[in-house]
Amino acid sequence: MFRQFCHVSPVLPFRSLAKVETRVSPFLQCETQRLRLTTITGGLVFRHGFAISPVVSSFTRVSSFRQGHSQFSNSRFRLSSLSKISSPNNYTKPIVGRWLLLSSGLVFGIVVLGGLTRLTESGLSIVEWKPITGVIPPITHPQWEEEFEKYKQFPEYKLLNYNISLSDFKYIYLMEWSHRMWGRMIGLIFILPAVYFGFRGHMSRPIIKKVVGLAGLLGFQGVLGWYMVKSGLSEELMSTPGAIPRVSHYWLVAHLGSAFLLYSGMFLTGLQILRDSKIAYDSFPKGVARILANPSLNKFRRLAICVAMLIFLTSMSGALVAGLDAGLIYNEFPYMGKSIIPPKSELFSKAYTRLGETSLWRNFIDNPTTVQFDHRVLAISTFCAITALWLYSRRLMLPPNARLAINSVLGVSCLQVTLGISTLIYMVPLPLASAHQAGSLTLLTTALYLVHTMRRIPIKI
C-alpha cells in the first residue's frame, strides 16, 4: 500500500534521524502507519527496505526532527494541516519564543525596579539623559560632587531635599542609574538577537513584523521615560504655589502603560511561537485541541479578554494614584471619611478646573480624592468580574492548562486585593507598595496566559 502512494527513488543523502507519519489517502479508509527513517550509508531507508525522495504526497506530515541539519530543513515535506515548516517565511523556531519570554521577564523586572525608584523618590536624581556616556556612573569624589551640584540646580533639591547629604544623594542616584542600565540591557538583549534571528531566517514574516513593532515600542518607551523625568525638572514648579517636585502623572501613566503593553506583546508572542512549534512538530495534545474546538467556549473566551482589559485599566488607574500620591489620603477601607463614598464637593471640586473651563471632568485625572475613589471602584469591579468568570468556568469543560490559568487569576487577584488594602491602611510602606505594583503585572500575566490557553488550535481534529 505504501508503494502506491510514495515515490520510490534511489537512496538520498541525509545525516539525521527523523520520524515521518504517513497517512494514506482518505478514500482508502486506512489507518495511520508510523515509519521511522534510519541513517544507512548516508541515505534514507525505511524499515521495509526501500527509500523515498523528500517530496512525499500531500497526506504526509513531519511529526518531529532534529534541528541543525540544513539538508532536512530545506526538504519539501508537505504538511496536512499547516504550511511547510522548512520555509523560513512560514515557520518560527522555538528559540525565538524562548527569547521573547526572557525579554518579557526582563521587562517585568524593570517595572518592579521602576516602582522602587519612584517610591524612594530617586527618579529625578539624574538630571541629564546620556544614552551612551551615562553608562558609567561617577566613581571619584570630585565626580560625585559635580553630579551633586547639578542636582542642586533643580526644584526637587530646592523644595524638598535641601537637607540631603552626599551619601544620601549617592543612594538615590544609583537607584535611578540601575533603572536606566536595566533599560539599556533590555535594549541590547532584544535588538541584537532580533537582528541575528532575522538574518538567519529563524522568524516567519508575521513574527518579524511583530518583533519590529515591539522594537519600536521599546525605543518609544525610553523616550517616554526621559520626558517623564524632564517633567519633574521644570523650573515652573518654583513659581507654582504649593507645587510638589515630582514627575507628571500623565507621563507616568504613559510610561507605565507602554511598559505593560510591551510586556504583554512579548509574552503573548513568545507563547504563540512555542504553541505553533508544538503544532508543527505534531506534539500538541489532540484532546486539548478537541476541547478548544467546542463552540460553547466562545463566550468564555470573550469574557477572558474583557477581564484582561479590565485588569489593565485598573493598573493604569493605580498609576494615577501613585503619580498624585493619592494613597496618602483616606488611609482606611472600605470607608473614605464617614461613608464609602466621599463628599460630592471633594469628588467634583472646582479647584481642579482650568481657566475658562466649566466642566469638572479633570477631577477624574487630577483630583487625588476622585482618583483614589475611581481606583477603589475599578479594583472591586475587577475582583468581582474575576470571581464571576471563575464561577462560570466551573460549568465548562476546560483544558488542564486553562483550568490552572483561571484558578491562578482568582488566587492572584485575592492576593492583590489584600496587598492593595494593606498598602492603603499602612500609608504606602515601601515593601507593600512595591509588592502591590508587582502584583498588578502578575495578575495581568495570569489573565494573558488564560487568554492564550483558550485560543483555538489551527489543526484538523
Chain segment 121-163, per-residue pLDDT in tens: 899 999 988 888 889 999 999 999 999 999 999 989 988 888 8
| DSSP line for 319-361 | HHHHHTTGGGS--SSS-BTTBSS--HHHHT-GGGPPTT----T
What pLDDT does 236 receive?
Answer: 78
**DSSP 8-state assignment for residue 396:** S
CA 4 to chain centre: 50
Q: For residue 22, give Cα distances in angstroms to 30, 50, 79, 186, 314.
A: 11, 15, 10, 44, 51
Query: How far is 71 from 217, CA to CA, in rounded Å?
Result: 37
What pLDDT does 246 receive?
Answer: 85
Q: For residue 153, give Cα distances in angstroms to 126, 134, 168, 171, 303.
A: 12, 19, 17, 19, 52
Q: Which of 87-101, 221-235, 323-337 has the lowest mean pLDDT?
A: 87-101
Average pLDDT of the segment spanning 349-355: 83
Chain segment 369-411, per-residue pLDDT in tens: 999 999 999 999 999 999 999 999 999 999 999 999 999 999 9
What pLDDT does 11 receive?
Answer: 36
What pLDDT does 79 receive?
Answer: 36
Instruction: List Cβ neighbours of 415 (8 Å cut-off, separation of 6 or more).
Output: 439
What pLDDT does 91 receive?
Answer: 74
pLDDT band for 58, please (50, 70, 90 cuts): very low
Average pLDDT of the segment spanning 81-98: 65
For residue 248, which phi and psi values (nearest 5 degrees)?
Answer: -65, 130
Strands 18-22 and 33-40: antiparallel
Q: Which of 262-266, 356-360, 373-377, 426-430 has the lowest mean pLDDT?
A: 356-360
Check whether 89 has a pLDDT greater than 80.
Answer: no
* Residue 127 and residue 293 in contact, taking contact as beta carbons nearer than 8 Å: no
3-state secondary structure at position 165? coil
What pLDDT does 59 receive?
Answer: 33
Check whether 63 has a pLDDT greater than 70.
Answer: no
Closest CA to 96 of 185, 4, 214: 214
Q: Which of 92-96, 285-289, 370-374 has the lowest mean pLDDT?
A: 285-289
Helix (H) / strand (E) element for 240: namely: none
Chain segment 188-205, per-residue pLDDT in tens: 999 999 999 999 999 999
Segment 172-175 long-range contacts (CB within 8 Å, at least 24 positions apart): 172/120, 172/121, 172/122, 172/125, 173/122, 173/125, 173/126, 173/137, 173/138, 173/147, 174/137, 175/116, 175/117, 175/120, 175/122, 175/125
Instruction: List Cβ neighbours of 290 (8 Å cut-off, separation of 6 or more).
Output: 461
- What is the percent of the chain where pLDDT is above 90? 62
- pLDDT averaged over every residue in the chain: 81
Q: Which of 4-8, 311-315, 392-396 has the lowest mean pLDDT?
A: 4-8
Average pLDDT of the segment spanning 402-425: 97
> Nine-digit cell at 108?
517585568
What pLDDT does 313 receive?
Answer: 97
Number of residues that this document lists for the chain: 461
Check whether 229 has a pLDDT greater than 70.
Answer: yes
Paired residues of 19 in beta bridges: 36, 64
What pLDDT does 460 receive?
Answer: 63
What pLDDT does 134 receive?
Answer: 85
pTM assigned to the model: 0.80
Check whether 29 has a pLDDT greater than 80.
Answer: no
What pLDDT does 19 receive?
Answer: 37
What pLDDT does 369 receive?
Answer: 95
Query: How far is 64 from 66, CA to CA, in rounded Å?
Result: 7
Q: Which of 157 and 60 is assigned the larger pLDDT?
A: 157
Check whether 42 has a pLDDT greater than 80.
Answer: no
